[in-house]
């Protein structure tokens, strides 16, 4: 899958060349694989920021809705 090839390339560049990568991901697969720190944007503002591990334990309703892929909730 092309997405996975790109994710692997980003991880390799960061690890082997010591670079910093800023990525914008719309899917949790990419976020879980390549991000160390994550920020969630909503209506043009950062509404949550934390570690990749905090994505599933934040207790923050907006983030939980997005991570779990629920259609109904605070995000419209």
- Maximum CA pair distance of the chain? 42
Q: How many CA atoms, within 13 angstroms, populate the side-chain half-sphere of residue 63?
A: 20
Q: In this structure, are residues 17 and 30 in contact, taking their beta carbons and an 8 Å threshold?
A: no
What are the extents of the domains in the chain?
A: 1-35, 40-76
pLDDT at 3: 87
- With tokens 């914008």, the residue in question is 24
Which tens digit of pLDDT belongs to each residue from 44-71?
999 999 998 888 888 999 999 998 889 9
Which tens digit of pLDDT belongs to each residue from 16-28?
998 999 998 888 8
Burial bucket for residue 30 (CB in 10 Å: 0-12, 13-18, 19+): middle
How far apart, in whole angstroms, are the C-alpha atoms of residue 26 and residue 13? Answer: 21
pLDDT at 27: 80
pLDDT at 10: 93
Please determine, for residue 1, whether its predicted confidence score (pLDDT) is greater than 80.
no
Q: What's the whole-number mean pLDDT along residues 1-14?
A: 91
Global pTM value: 0.75
């Amino acid at each position: 899958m092309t997405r996975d090839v790109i994710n692997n390339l980003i991880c390799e560049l960061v690890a082997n060349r010591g670079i910093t990568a800023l990525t914008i991901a719309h899917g949790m697969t990419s976020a879980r694989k390549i991000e160390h720190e994550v920020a969630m944007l909503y209506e043009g503002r950062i509404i949550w920021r934390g570690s990749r591990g905090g994505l599933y334990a934040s207790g923050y309703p907006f983030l939980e809705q997005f991570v779990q892929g629920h259609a109904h909730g605070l995000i419209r």
